[in-house]
Structure 1
Amino acid sequence: MCGPCCGIGPVFTCSGCGSIDEPYADGRCTRCVLQVRVQGLLSDETGHLDPRLQPVADILTGAARPKSVLHWLGHSTAARLLSRLTATPAGLTHELLDALPQEPRNRYVRGLLVSAGIAPDRDETLAQTELWVASTIAELPAGRRGVVHAFADWHTLKTARRQAARGRYTAGSASQDRTEILRAIDFLDWLDTQNLTLSRARQGDLEHWLDQAPGHRRGLVAFIRWARLRNLADLTLPAPRTALPQHFLDDAEMHTQLRRCLTETALPLDVRITGALVCLYALPASRIAALTADDFTQDETGSYLTSAPAPSCCHHGSPSSSGT
């Protein structure tokens, strides 16, 4: 039952708005307390709220769960950052936030300002990539900064902006772009340890580095192609190594292995059966593993193993090479 129904209505009547609700503080309901605290957060020292900040106040006070916003105001570092930034409402721009460390609280405040219409909407994934590129290049030694900056600006970011214009620049795209730039930096760092420059590097140097870090090949493709097209290096990324078979059994060895499968009782029966099927029919292990007892049948004409749409005939207890 509510307070008035229990005969104690005044206790549950908000002194601010007059609604019947559970009091939160100073005899006021949660919504009224939230309005007061948001006003204090966004106002200047005289208690004046700049009209340009009113959309932010409306978003915070209009939240569906005012208690959650009150908790955020009291404990979140993002709320304290917002309070500092609103001291100069005219300066609330993306450029101001870009100059700050790109931390979660920064991203939250940015999203709040965009939602309020104070900061314009933008492709944040692309913008964060551009900021990352700028900070990463700034930390490089002067000797490597020029090449990486040219590659990032004229290849990576140019492609990223083209994708963003079509609405196709995703978080995965940004991750791949960062990987390409990092692999380029890794390769240039290695060349420096070898007292080499990009222009003096030879094909053997590139292949030697890839042997040491084979997982970096994919991320280096774009940089090597870009450097070659601009005559910065005479390098070609070698084709990836394939996993094609390299070791084969001759006929004599094959017969020896088959004889073991047929006669060596010390081997487990499932190993003998599997080995015999491989030697006789070259059945892949995946198909052998899928065989069941129902795939083997016997009648007056012989024994049959169905390993494919057409049955394999097994006359007189030994498989035949026909009908696989």
Structure 2
Amino acid sequence: MTTQLDAALAGPDGAVHPQLVTLRDLLLTDYTPTQIQHRCKHSEWVQLVGDLADAGGDITHAHLDALPPQNHVRLLRHMLVATGALELRSVLTDMVDPWLQHFLADQRPEVSALMRPYAAWSVLRRARHRHARGLDSPSSHKYVRTRITVAAQFLTWLDTRAVTLSNATQSDVDLWLSQGASTRHRVRDFLQWAYTAGHTTDLTAPWLGREGLPSRVLADNTRWALLRRCVHENTVALELRVAGSLVLLYGHIPTRIVELTRDDITSDGQHRFLTLAARPVLLPPALADLVDQLAEQDSRTTPGRKPWLFPGARRGSHRDAGALTKLLNIELGIFVRPARGAALCDLAAELPSPVLADVLGISTSAAARWSTLAARDWTGYIAARTHTVSELPKPDSSR
């Protein structure tokens, strides 16, 4: 078995490639001989790293960037970064740049000519600026790719109607939006850029984030029925029960749920808390028990690895948020958008928007919109806070 693995990772001289020694040790530690044998024969990423090793020379990100952005290429990059063979790069560089290169190569020249400056000077520029400020999320690359893909789809659709972007009208935009999924509303960003760059007239698409909020809110009886399933249905995977409860109770989205760690769980001796944003949130006893059980499932602490509450299949990574979202829908019937809307409406009816924003880590403007939807006026609360502060003793200026 060791001989087979060494041969798979060997360079032209027959020895294991120097950059792959740590990867070899990892495979021998984490997998059984049968699993290693299977990977050497059938895993595309093992075969790919073998080809790179056999070619000789250093293995670099550039080698992987030149390949189609398929799953086995992404998995190999992850393994090489995790074992120190390659340096860590931003998610945008790893997940967007190689994809964009291949995506544009498949487009018509007219589409590529518009997509290149739009991607480089609008979408990617803003995404990298947010990354530099630490404001991006694990799904940033998906939003970037979606905006570029949707814009290209819109241009292709216009071409099928023998309409150019410069001649497109608002009626064309409205018709295209009405014939597809809500994701098409992401074309709003491209239309704004195209107008500023002088490629089209002032066209627009409704912003996906603010339209139709009331229709996307789950009914109370449905929400509580789903929550009961999460708490009591033992046949459902524990991680789905916990994740579903966090969506239904606190409006916490999967991209943030999967980033929770065991360190986010705290206790004061009587109650258990979970830090969702900046502050710990009190957990109901039934949910606290589920969270404790989930934490105990993988309680091992490995140096250099975060103690993820939702560990992923890849070494050192957390659960994929997109896969978790799909499972919540399939296994529990929980659609995140309406479930989250119901939770935020409920919380906004009990908390002033500044507190809601602080506890859940959402923007103050978003919290204010949910408070408006919940039809609550918190001016009385603000006045009470102001009155209380005014009664506090003033500091002694003589000190």
Shorter chain as denominator, the TM-score bin is 0.5 to 0.7
1:84 CA displacement: 1.7
Range that drifts further, 156-165 or 123-132: 123-132
- 2:139 corresponding residue in structure 1: 172
Residue of structure 2 in register with 1:219 after alignment: 186
Question: Distance in 2 between the 1:84 and 1:232 partners?
Answer: 45
Query: Which residues in structure 2 correspond to 1:271-310 (within 5 Å)?
Result: none
Residues 10, 17 of structure 2: 8 Å contact kept:
yes
Letter in 1 for 2:115: V
Identity %: 28
Counterpart pick for 1:69 among 32, 36, 53: 36
SS at match of 1:48: coil
Greater Rg over alpha carbons, structure: 1
Q: Is the 8 A contact 1:191 1:198 kept in 2?
A: yes
Aligned partner letter, 2:144: D
Instruction: Give 5+ residue unaligned stretches, structure 2.
Output: 215-399
Residue 151 (str. 1) matches residue 118 (str. 2): yes
1:108 aligns with 2:75: yes
Work out whether 1:235 is the aligned partner of 2:202: yes
- Name the CA shift for 1:225/1:63 in 2 (closer, same or farther; >3 Å): same
Report the Cα distance in structure 2 between the residues aligned to 1:95 and 1:65, rounded to whole angstroms. 32
C-alpha displacement of 1:74: 4.0
1:152 is displaced (CA, Å) by: 1.3
* Shift of residue 217, structure 1, vs aligned partner: 5.0
Q: TM-score, normalised by structure 1?
A: 0.56
Hey, what's the Cα distance between the residues in 1 that align with 2:167 and 2:26?
59
AA aligned to 2:122 is H
Structure 1's 70 and 189: CA in aligned 2 closer, same or farther, altered over 3 A? closer
Shift of the 186–121 alpha-carbon distance from structure 1 to 2, 3 Å rule, reads same
Give the Cα separation in 2 of the matches to 1:171 and 1:58. Answer: 29
How has the CA–CA distance of structure 1 residues 39 and 236 changed in structure 2, closer, same or farther, with 3 Å as cutoff? closer
Q: What pairs up with 1:66-215 in 2 under 5 angstroms?
A: 66-213=33-180, 215=182
1:45–1:88 CA distance, 2 compared to 1 (3 A): closer
Report the counterpart of residue 38 of structure 1 in structure 2: 5
Structure 2: distance between partners of 1:44 and 1:211: 56
Segments of 5+ residues of structure 1 without an aligned counterpart are 1-32, 245-324
- Give the Cα separation in 1 of the matches to 2:62 and 2:16: 23
In structure 2, distance between residues paired with 1:214 and 1:68: 41
What pairs with 1:10-29 in structure 2 (closer than 5 Å)?
none
C-alpha distance in structure 2 between counterparts of 1:144 and 1:155, whole Å: 16
User: Deviations 1:185-217 (Å, cap 9, x if unpaired)?
Assistant: 222223223333222223333334334447355
Letter in 2 for 1:163: R
8 Å CA contact retained: 2:9, 2:50: yes
Determine the C-alpha separation between the residues in 2 that align with 1:187 and 1:73. 43
Aligned residues: CA RMSD: 3.0
Alignment partner of 2:166: what SS? coil
CA separation in 2, counterparts of 1:42 and 1:207? Answer: 55
